[in-house]
Amino acid sequence: MTMPDSPAVAVSVLSADFAHLDVALEAVRSSGADAIHLDVMDGHFVPNISYGPAIARDIVRASGLPCHAHLMVDDPERMFPAFVAAGATEVVIHVEASGDLLRVLDALHRAGVARGLALNPGTAIETLFPLLDYVDSVLVMSVEPGWGGQSFLPEAVGRVRRLRDEALRRGLSLRIAVDGGVTLENAAALGHAGADAVVVGSAFFASPDRAAFVASLRGVG
């Protein structure tokens, strides 16, 4: 069982005040977080709509941090090139999305960006197993995608463990990240189960001391 000393921390800016995005980005930068997590919602794959590639590009440029695009969209093949062009260093598509996922993963690889696959809480973790040779990371959703600020679904811990076991059995150096409702209370269990990154949105922005919050998240492994 892998037990990372120091899980990477990506901040979802979904819960930021978009009227003051510069303030939010400075908060992320000065917190020492590793990356920014961009939640892209199309109103079809999930009922909500967030933002598209133009805003993603501005965040990439203004933040100076690696930015991961989490595409909660149908037909990611049509959408992903705009996020690669926007400067995302990793593009994550959903295993439940329509279209030829392997073709998208191959195109992402050829474009030189990291390839991630996300899966919803209701999707069997084994669905991913045939695809693990073609990805750099898996994003285990610990809430139903669509909104920030939801409560963590504790089944995610066991799902991370099953995925880590499978990756170890096959000798894959898979990065496993967890997204949704992550707090200091549940991050330790995720780290012990084999997650090496967490995404935090509302808990980050609600924290009075973001640098201390990020340091504590890293300390839980």
Residues annotated as catalytic (active site), given as ranges: 39, 179
C-alpha distances in Å from residue 184, one per residue of 190, 198, 199, 203: 10, 11, 12, 9
Q: Please pick, from the candidates 200, 214, 217, 220, the single residue that binds ligand DX5 as defined by CB under 6 A.
A: 200
DSSP state at residue 49: B
DSSP class of 109 = H
Q: Which stretch binds ligand DX5 (CB under 6 A): 74-82, 87-95, 97-105, 194-202?
A: 194-202
Q: Among the candidate windows 26-34, 58-66, 78-86, 138-146, which touches ligand DX5 by CB under 6 A?
A: 138-146
- Within residues 37-56, the interface with Zn ion by CB under 5 A covers 39
Euclidean distance between CA atoms 37 and 90, whole angstroms: 10
**Rounded-to-integer distance, Cα 72 and Cα 57, Å:** 17
What CA–CA distances, in Å, run from 145 to 63, 79, 135, 166, 210? 24, 18, 20, 24, 24
Contact status: 186 vs ligand DX5 (CB under 6 A) = no
Task: Identify residues 31-90 at the interface with ligand DX5 (CB under 6 A).
Answer: 37, 39, 70
Nearer to ligand DX5, 94 or 173 (CB): 94
Please identify, among the stretches 1-9, 173-181, 187-195, 209-217, the one whose residues bind ligand DX5 according to the rule CB under 6 A. 173-181
CB of 15 to ligand DX5, least distance (A): 5
Closest approach of ligand DX5 to the CB of residue 21, in Å: 16
The answer to whether 202 contacts ligand DX5 (rule: CB under 6 A) is yes
Distance CA(199)–CA(69), nearest Å, equals 12
What does DSSP say about strands 35-41 and 8-12: parallel, antiparallel, or unpaired?
Answer: parallel
- 179 near Zn ion, judged by CB under 5 A: yes
- Residue of the chain from 68, 70, 115, 159 that contacts Zn ion (CB under 5 A): 70
- The amino acid present at 27, given as its one-letter code, is A
Chain-centroid distance, C-alpha 87:
16
Residue 74, interface with Zn ion (CB under 5 A)? no
60 φψ region: left (φ > 0), alpha (ψ -120 to 50), beta (else): alpha
Q: Given candidates 12, 120, 137, 207, which one binds ligand DX5 under the rule CB under 6 A?
A: 12
Enumerate the H helices of 12-75 as residue ranges.
Answer: 21-31, 53-63
Binding site for ligand DX5 (CB under 6 A): 12, 14-15, 37, 39, 70, 143, 145-146, 148-150, 179-182, 199-203
Binding site for Zn ion (CB under 5 A): 39, 70, 179
